[in-house]
Structure 1
Amino acid sequence: MASPPAGRPSSSSKSCTTRKSKEPENGVEGRRNRRMMASIQSALLNGAPKPKNNNRKVLRKPSKDDLAFEDIANALERIKMADTDMSVSLADVRPYLLKNVDSFTDEEMDNLCEVFCESAALQTNSYYIVGLCGDLIGNTTFQDKMSENLRKMVTDFLSDNPERKEEQEVKNTSAFKALPEFLGQLAMNRWPRPYHRALEDSNMILFAVVNTVLGWINFIEEMANSDNDEIDPGKLNLLVKCAEGLYTFCQTGQRSIWLNFPDIFDGVYSSTKALLTSNIGLKRSFKSALLNLHLSLNKWSMSNVPKCTTVATQTISPFS
């Protein structure tokens, strides 16, 4: 094999020579960059040495509140405490309920659903309660008891039950003020399959909510289409309650009502139109709220329309 000409190094020796010559350059350049970064850091710190982080991360020891509940009474007590104290943690309630829901007695399940409804009606933990309902919907006993308690609260909402009203006034809130909104959140919740239909054999909670709202619509249409100019004060009060519940329910669901509940959407359109054109003497604020609702229905059927949220504090309800 012929050797390379004299005075011309081979390619292998050239690459080795180049590699060796770059190594010290990289080392010198690296040290120069480190010194430059140290100078910049020292200038930013005004010559002071770099502070050391002596704050070691201390793992929080679990408190008694973080441990598992002894029974369902402790879990319910935690939910009640969270209604008035926002600092109370509910992180352990969901795992406990998911683990033990199938072992609850009928009485315990009834107490659980009663606490759920009252907590949501106070509007403090309504979103949390709706989430728990979605988690426990697979239990038929829970469906039965929850729908039963919802019907009781709807009856009290419409009739202004004196005993329940006094109980709510002690808690410094109006009786079942947030119940229609709670019903709207339950209706618009993304229920897991096969519990996403408003049928008795699918979801008794959703079935109770939809039938309640349809009942309000039917009563409003019946009163609006009646020939009597004078209405009994009791029926007039019930009419106002139904309209108030329907208005709040629709403001909670808005476009989702048109997408998921066409029967309710059509009923709201026809009932509000009938009531606005009737001879029933209604307050101006009452008519204004219903007119805004009626006009909003056309927007809900349009695409790319943002959901409108109304925030009000200490304002008088148009239905009061």
Structure 2
Amino acid sequence: MDALMIHTLIQSRYPIFDASGKLPFSIIFGLCRNSSDDIDPRALVVDISGSVLDVPYALANKLLKSHGINTLHSDKQRLKDANISTSPSATRFVTLPSPVGRTKHYKECFTIFEYRIDVDSELASLLQPGKEYSIKLASRDLGIKWWTYVDEPQLPLSEEQISQPSESAKLLNSKPSAGHAAFTVVDSLPWPPEVTTRMCIIPATETTAELLEISMTNTGPLPLSIQVQGRQRFLEPQSIFGPENPQRTPSHRPLETETPVLYFGFLVTNISTDEIVLGDGKRRTGCIGLTSGKVDPRPRMQDLITLEPGQPLVRRVDLGGIVVGLEDGTFFIVISTS
């Protein structure tokens, strides 16, 4: 076999590179053996030094290319010097399981490798604030110079194995495109202040129902605007197939005063059985409409409230509206205030 095809994908962990280093940033690679010609039942181990996964080397030696407003080819020698052996997050060997006998969908079988770009690295010093970058494979060649098959992938390679010549087949990307890692560089990412949320139960009286009191306090030094309804947009970590932990946040939050309580994101768990009895798809919480790419993502003024520093914002809701229809028992309530 002259070549062995490896399904390869590339993505950035976040669409923002924070030059201050407060938000860790990585280039993510996904590798999967998914070729019909790959019939060896053994795991495959690759040395990533000098390959596309060695990001500074790959950029300097045209295994990866940079597109967009700015490119990273202006100082190739500095990139060549910043090879993976000097990276504190380096992992030299990556293992790819065999597709033989696989029962899961191939999308669940990618081996993930992250190349973290540390803010004090040579590569980070070439990233200019205000610029946009898009990094992708330059060709189907993955640049892997040494790889081997192993029978026991859970064991580290021995010195004897490492000293052996590489398998002869060339490892190539199996698809015409592998995606791209796109991001914008900022000097310092604005960081939100800490907000504390507390709940307590106010017992019923002869004239009032039992209430759940929800309070939110801004612990920062400045007033804080919060969106209480509508679609929320967050800076979420990405995997090779989209958001790493996709979450359906409720359209309405408990600090809004005009919406029925059943439309909030309550999660109720039966303590004795540890079963989620409300939330997590147990009860319909309204619909989130589809939007087009032309919609202004900024929240409307009427959807915002202001939290003054140190001043709790309190809402009380009828507890019966939350637990209606549930059997007798002891429950634990969590709310989504995102």
Answer whether TM exceeds 0.5 for this pair.
no
- What is the TM-score normalised by the length of structure 1? 0.21
Larger helix share, 1 or 2: 1
Larger strand share, 1 or 2: 2
